[in-house]
């Protein structure tokens, strides 16, 4: 990429587009337009907003290509109904509540302080027990979870299908969708979700919605301290390893190994650094959030993942990247 005045200017202003998208989702603009509100006054009425404010917002949304404008009438731009209308199966709007949440936005506004410090400067951060952001994450992060959970299920077949009983511990389960998706696929499975106690009511709600509540249990507390109540057949550690340095990750994975029956499986989901920043930018961009929010976390390399998993007592690592998403699924066997 050649750096030009235009490219730097675009980067400087990119946050305005982010803000527009978040605001439109928050005010229900795309749903309103989809359901026939075609003028600023009509959308404003539905959103409980000011008509002038709404006109300026809608024009800006048309300027960035999310709406079309024809005089005073607005419509969804091509493709918008598939990803920005809340009833669409491919709805992505909820993810703005996570990745453009106040938590992330405000913290990245102080990125320079985190760089100076070499780690978080936030009083409330990803390692704070009961961090409120994790409730938001558990509530709204399902859009990227379900395709990844499907890859996990594929990698665990046929081992899991032939394993009865199948006791699954989902460490730092958040929404719980990894364990619950597996429980729907493998009817003999029982899932225990472990997380902070402020998150678990949301986890439990998802267990009810997915119809697996009668095969679900919970452990509230610190994953580095609480009893894992094993032995289990499968331990999941998903989207957690980037919160810690390699030593702390190995400690966590060792706890997972100790909670497994011999021959049991570990299922990991992770961002994995596996190329230069230019070739594979996503993991490097994600690491800035971990710099802002953790003492020593960042996205680990492919080699580091394999080293940590092996050092914790696992073997036969199988790895797949999730199509279209920057996540890798790794399955390993307790040695
Ligand atoms: C990025 S989310 C991952 C959620 C889910 N596993 C997933 O893959 O989407 C991290 C989760 O770890 C939980 N968590 C962080 N530190 C924890 C700790 N020390 N003990 C228990 N849970 C923790 C958070 O509450 C949050 O739900």
The residue contributing the CA closest to ligand 1 atom 4 is 174
Going by C-alpha positions, the residue among 302, 186, 306, 301 that lies closest to residue 234 is 186
Q: 172 C-alpha to center of ligand 1: Å?
A: 4
196 close to ligand 1 (CB < 6 Angstrom): yes
pLDDT at res. 1: 80
Residue 24: what pLDDT?
98
User: What distance in angstroms lies between residue 174's CA and the mean position of ligand 1's atoms?
Assistant: 5
Rounded mean pLDDT of 8-34?
A: 97
pLDDT tens sequence across 318-330: 999 999 888 999 9
Q: Indicate if the pLDDT at residue 143 is higher than 80.
A: no
Q: What is the pLDDT of residue 142?
A: 81
| Among protein residues, the one whose CA lies closest to atom 19 of ligand 1 | 222
Residue 69 has φ and ψ, to the nearest 5°, of -125, 130
| pLDDT at res. 230 | 94
CA of 45 to the centre of ligand 1 (A): 39
Q: Is the pLDDT assigned to residue 109 strictly greater than 80?
A: yes
Mean pLDDT over the full length of the chain: 96
Residue-wise pLDDT tens digits, 209-247: 999 999 999 999 999 999 999 999 999 999 999 999 999
130 lines ligand 1 (CB under 6 A): no
Kindly write down the DSSP assignment for every residue of 164-220, as one continuous string.
SSEEEEEET-TT-HHHHHHHHHSTTEEEEEEE-TTTHHHHHHHHHHTT-GGGEEEEE
Q: How far is the CA of 113 from the centre of ligand 1 (A)?
A: 25
Nearest to 335 by CA among 306, 309, 312, 314: 314
pLDDT of 49 over the 80 cut = yes
Q: Has residue 4 got a pLDDT over 80?
A: yes
Ligand 1 and 179: CB distance under 6 A? no
DSSP string across 226-278: S-----EEEEEEES-GGGS-HHHHHHHHHHHHHTEEEEEEEEEEE--B-S-TT
pTM comes to 0.94
- Ligand 1: atom nearest CA of 226 is 20
Kindly state if the Cβ of 145 falls inside 6 Å of ligand 1. yes
Instruction: Tell me the pLDDT tens digit for each residue of 66-101.
Output: 999 999 999 999 999 999 999 999 999 999 999 999
Atom 20 of ligand 1, nearest CA residue? 222
- Which residue has a Cα nearest atom 25 of ligand 1? 134
Check pLDDT > 90 for residue 144: no
Does ligand 1 have an atom closer than 6 angstroms to the CB of 44?
no
Give the rounded percent of residues in the chain with a pLDDT score beyond 90: 95
- Nearest-atom number in ligand 1 for the CA of 222 is 20
How confident is the model over 19-48, as a mean pLDDT?
97
Give me 333's structure tokens.
């066997």
* 302 CB burial (10 A radius; 0-12, 13-18, 19+): middle
pLDDT band of residue 253 (cuts 50, 70, 90) is very high
Average pLDDT over residues 272-292: 95
Distances (CA, A) of 260 to 115, 122, 184, 234: 39, 35, 21, 7
């Amino acid at each position: 990429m050649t750096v030009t005045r235009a490219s730097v200017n675009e980067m400087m202003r990119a946050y305005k587009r982010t803000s527009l998208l978040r605001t439109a989702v928050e005010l229900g603009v795309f749903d309103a337009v989809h359901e026939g509100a075609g003028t600023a006054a009509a959308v404003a009425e539905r959103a409980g907003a000011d008509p002038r404010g709404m006109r300026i917002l809608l024009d800006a949304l048309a300027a960035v290509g999310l709406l079309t404008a024809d005089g005073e009438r607005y419509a969804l731009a091509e493709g918008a109904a598939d990803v920005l209308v809340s009833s669409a199966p491919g709805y992505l709007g909820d993810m703005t509540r996570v990745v453009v949440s106040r938590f992330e936005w405000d913290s990245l506004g102080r990125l320079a302080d985190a760089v100076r410090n070499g780690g978080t400067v936030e009083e409330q951060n990803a390692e704070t027990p009961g961090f409120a952001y994790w409730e938001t994450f558990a509530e709204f992060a399902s859009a990227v979870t379900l395709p990844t959970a499907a890859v996990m299920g594929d990698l665990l077949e046929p081992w899991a299908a032939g394993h009865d009983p199948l006791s699954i511990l989902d460490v730092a389960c958040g929404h719980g969708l990894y364990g619950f998706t597996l429980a729907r696929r493998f009817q003999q499975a029982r899932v225990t979700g472990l997380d902070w106690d402020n998150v678990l009511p949301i986890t439990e709600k998802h267990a009810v919605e997915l119809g697996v509540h009668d095969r679900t249990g919970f452990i509230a507390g610190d994953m580095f301290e609480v009893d894992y109540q094993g032995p289990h057949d499968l331990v999941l550690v998903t989207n957690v390893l980037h919160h810690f340095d390699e030593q702390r990750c190995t400690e966590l994975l060792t706890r997972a190994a100790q909670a497994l029956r011999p021959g049991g499986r570990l299922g990991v989901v992770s961002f994995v650094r596996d190329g230069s920043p230019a070739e594979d930018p996503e993991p490097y961009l994600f690491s800035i959030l971990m710099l802002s929010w953790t003492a020593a976390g960042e996205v680990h390399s492919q080699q580091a993942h394999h080293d940590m998993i092996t050092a914790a007592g696992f073997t036969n690592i199988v790895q797949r990247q999730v199509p279209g998403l920057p996540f890798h699924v790794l399955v390993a066997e307790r040695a």
